[in-house]
Structures are given as structure tokens and as C-alpha cells.
Amino acid sequence: MKALRLIWILTQKDLRIEYRSRQAFLTTLFFALLILIVFNFAFDPGDEAIRAAAPGILWVSLLFPGVIQLNRSFQAEREEGTLHGLILAPVDRGVLFLGKFLANWLLLTLVDLLILGAFVVFYNLSFSTRLLWILLLLVLVGAVFSSVGTLFAAMVSGIRTRDVLLPILLFPILVPIVIAAVNATRELLGSGELEFLHQWVKLLVVSDVVFLAGSFLLFDFVVED
Amino acid sequence: MNWYLFFGYAVFWTLLFVYLVYLHRRQTALNRELRELERSLDK
Amino acid sequence: MSVVTANPELRIAARWLGLSGWLQWPTYVLLVVALYGAFLYAPTERVMGEVQRIFYFHVGAAFGAFLAFFVVFIAGIGYLRTRRVFWDQMAAASVEVGVLFTTIVLTTGPLWAKPVWNTWFPWGDPRVMTTLVLWLIYMAYLILRSSLPEGERKYKFCAVFGIIGFIDVPIVYMSTRWWRTIHPVVITSSGANLEPRMSQALLVAVAACALVLVVLILLRSAMRLNALVAERLAQEVQDRRRVAQ
């Protein structure tokens, strides 16, 4: 499957670029951590409201850094003009998309994983199998975020207001995803039975398929010249 | 009371509609003029 | 190259204007009938009282708002497949009219909700949430539009966003529905038991709003096409003058 190899090569390229200047990755991570911490300052210590809001705080702290990461994923192409080079290469645009998508997905999931670790510490959670479920949620949400996000990031890469424009475009689309993620997390962090979890996971999987397919098909129109 | 509401809104809608028809006439005229212009440019 | 063949938008605009001109008058009459239906024909609701009458046009406007978004979706696909500008202008016009209708829904909603359920904005109600997200997507579309310079890139990007937005709407609705089953809101869904006169009034109101939507979209699209061609021809005239000098 030559296409798969090509996709993996592109993904590796992006990951390697990111690895060279880890600084970018670390600032994203720090930003997420900062949001997580600042939220805690917004509540009184020991306030029950914090525990009730915890699932929401987790996911909100992942959204904004995620957007910054997405915009940055096209920074190289933008500044060096390498997007033209990629397009001129005899490579299907769909492959380009999947390469970028995969790189973004992996990077995002890595950040999410580390933030989840901080979250566990801050909210004094115990390591249980339920955390593994949250990990699954991170992976699924990351996929939707990266698929639509890569498509939109490519669109706004040429626009000066891209840093505020990308959230404006992306967040309304992600509303159902956030609802699903937060509610599933709330159930997982609670002590009761898991009655609705499978429902939310189903919704996330469906969204993954739908948006990955949609973004894949529409990406062509976004990088033409 | 409902009669007042009905008439009130009916009058309001009629005024809006008059404006709508005005816009429509203006756009139709503009369209015609543009086609004239197009024809004259074409010569 | 002949200028005539370069401006097919004029003939398309003329056709749309003709169609909307034809539809205008039935639309006027139907809306007056709908007003009669909502205020005089339909009986007063037992529990909610007179304020419930907002509901007829609230639902009508909501139907129009979502219908407009469907037009945006179709027009987006149309543009991406044919690259003909009139599709994009119709999409943009539909967004403009759609925002208007959505805003009407979101303002009549609280006016109805406060007296009846003692809350201005029922968070968690699936239809309210979906309409709110629709409004956000419309707004994002307009902001995207204004951030891009005129040209094929703008039309393509807006089409792409419109398509993604449209496939998102059902997912929003599903997620808010499930959200509600977990956190049941005191508000029960209306429309469960309507007397026949009420359903009739509702049907007429929805039909009237749909017609108003169609007429407005046709007119606004034609306006945009006219403006587009006017700009183009003005440029042409300018170019010719410069060449002649």
C-alpha cells in the first residue's frame, strides 16, 4: 500500500520538524497546564463546585492549546512556502491531508495525555481502569479535533487573523463533541454505574467517521491553487 | 385585544412588504440597465 | 471575448427576480392569513395563555432558519462542483437571511420562555441548543467571509465551511437530546397535544415563513449578482478608458 507509506512519511516529517524545536510542543503543553491551574484559582479551595466542574475544566483546557497546535502545524508550509512544493509533488491531496491529520492527532494526544496526568494530580484521582476510558475519549476527541481542525487550519493559514479565526470556525462545530466528552468524563469520574458512556462513545466514533471522511474529501478544495 | 395585535402586525408586515416590492423593482431596473451596459460594451 | 458571454449572472439574476416577483404576492397574502390564524383563529392555550401565540411564528422562523442552512449546504456543493459564482452568491444570501431568521427564533424564544417557564434561556433544551449552535455557525461563516478577499478562494472556503457546518447540525441535535435524558429539564416539549385549529394555524405559519424565506433569498441573491456584475462592468469601463488614453 504505497499510499499508506506516503502518509506515514509525511507524518514523520511533521513529527520530526516538531521534535527538532520541541519548544513549540512545550509551550503548547504549558499553556494547557496554565489554563488548568488558572481555573482552580477561579474557585475557592475545597469548594465542591470545583469537583463538579472538573470534567468541563479538563476539556476546556485542551481546546485552546489544541487550536494553537493546529495553526502551528501549517506554519512551516506558510513561512517557507513549502505547501506549493507538496502540491506539485505527484502525491494525492488526500494523502497530504492524512499525513497532516495523523501528525496533529499524535501530537495532540501526547499533550492530552500529559495534561490528564496533571489533572489526576490536581484533582486527587486514583488510577483506575476508568482513567483508561478517559484516555480512549482523548484519542477519539483528538481524531475529530484533528480532522476538522487540519481542514480549517489549512483554510486559515493564509489569513492574518488566523489565531482568533480558527477557534471561531472550529468551536461551534465541536460543540457536540465537547458535550459528549464532558458528560462521558463526568460519568467516569463519578462513583456510579456507567450507564450512558457507551452512548457517548458511539457518538464520538460516528463523529470521527463522518468528519474524517468529510474533511478528507473537502481538503482538495482547500489547497488548490 | 387580539384584533389589535392582528391589525398591528398586519400593518407592520404590509409596510415591510411595500419595502420588499420597492427593492425588487429597483433590482429589476438595475438588472435591465446592466444588461444594456453589457450590450453597449459588446459593440 | 464577448462581454455578453462573460456575465451569465445577469440572466440568472433576472430569472431569480422574475421568480420572486411572481411569489411575492401569494407570500403577502399567506402571511396575513397566518397572522389571522395565529391571533384570531387559533384558540387560546389553556395553560400558557395568550403569550403562546408567539409560538406559531417562532416555529415558522425556526423552520426557515434551518431551511436556509440546507440551501447553504446545497449551494456549497453546487459551487464546488461547477465553480459558477451564482452558487456562492446564493449561499451567502442564504446565510444572511438565515441569520436574520435564527436571530428572530432566539429572540422570540426567551419572550415566550420567561412568562411560561420562568427562565429566559433554557440551557439544555435540544432545540434551543441546536438553534444556538446554528447561529454560531452562521456567524462564523460571515466572519470567515469578511476575512477573505473576493475570489475563488473565498467562495471555495465558504462552501467547505458551509458543508461541514451542515453535517454537524444533526450531530449537535443528537448530542443535546442525549444530554437532556441525563439531565432532564423541567421544560417539556410543546407540540405534543395541539388542538386541530392550532395545528392548522401552525401549518399555515410555517408555510408562510418558508415562502418569505424563499422570496428573501431569491431577492438577496439577485442583489448580490447585480452588484457583482456592476463591479465587474465598472472595472471593464475603467480599463477601456485607460486603454483609450
Domain residue extents for chain A:
2-223
Q: In chain C, pLDDT over 90 holds for what percent of residues?
A: 69
**Measured distance between the N- and C-terminal CA atoms of chain B, rounded to whole angstroms:** 64
Residue C120 burial (C-beta neighbours within 10 Å; 0-12, 13-18, 19+): exposed
Read off the pLDDT of residues A201-222 as tens digits, 9 standing for 90 and up.
Answer: 999 999 999 999 999 999 999 9
pTM for the full predicted model: 0.92
**Does position A147 have pLDDT exceeding 70, yes or no?**
yes
| Confidence grade of residue A195 (pLDDT, cut at 50, 70, 90) | confident
Residue of A nearest to C181 (CA): A196
Side-chain half-sphere CA neighbours of C23 within 13 A: 19
CB contact under 8 A, B31 and C14: yes
C20 neighbors B20 (Cβ within 8 angstroms): no
Q: Quick one: how many helices (H) and strands (E) in chain A?
A: 9, 0
Most confident of the ranges A59-68, B32-41, C91-100, C169-178 = C91-100
Residue of A nearest to C81 (CA): A221
Domain segments of chain C: what residues? 4-40+52-185+195-239
In eight-state DSSP terms, residue C52 is: G
Residues of C with CB below 8 A from A158's CB? 153
Neighbouring CB atoms inside 10 A of C195's CB total 12
Most confident of the ranges C9-13, C41-45, C136-140 = C136-140
What's chain C's average pLDDT? 91
**Does position C82 have pLDDT exceeding 90, yes or no?**
yes
Q: Which of A116, A172, A171, A168 is nearest to A139 (CA)?
A: A116
Q: In chain C, pLDDT over 70 holds for what percent of residues?
A: 93
Q: How far apart are CA A3 and CA A19, in angstroms?
A: 24
Mean pLDDT of A141-149: 97
Read off the pLDDT of residues C127-141 as tens digits, 9 standing for 90 and up.
Answer: 999 999 999 999 999
Q: Which of A136, A122, A105, A7 is nearest to A53 (CA)?
A: A122
Side-chain half-sphere CA neighbours of C9 within 13 A: 24
Most confident of the ranges A66-80, A159-173, A180-194 = A159-173
Q: Is A89 on the interface with C (CB under 8 A)?
A: no
Provide the ipTM.
0.93
Return all residues near C87 (Cβ < 8 A) that are at least 6 apart: C75, C76, C78, C79, C159
Q: How far apart are CA A219 and CA A150, in angstroms?
A: 9
Backbone angles phi, psi at C45, to 5 degrees: -70, 140
CB contact under 8 A, C176 and A179: yes
A176 neighbors C172 (Cβ within 8 angstroms): yes
| B with A: touching (≥3 Cβ pairs within 8 Å) | no
Distances (CA, A) of C58 to A43, A67, A110, C113, C145: 39, 36, 46, 11, 28
Residue of A nearest to C83 (CA): A221
The identity of residue A20, as a single letter, is R
Residue B24: give the domain boundaries. Answer: 1-43
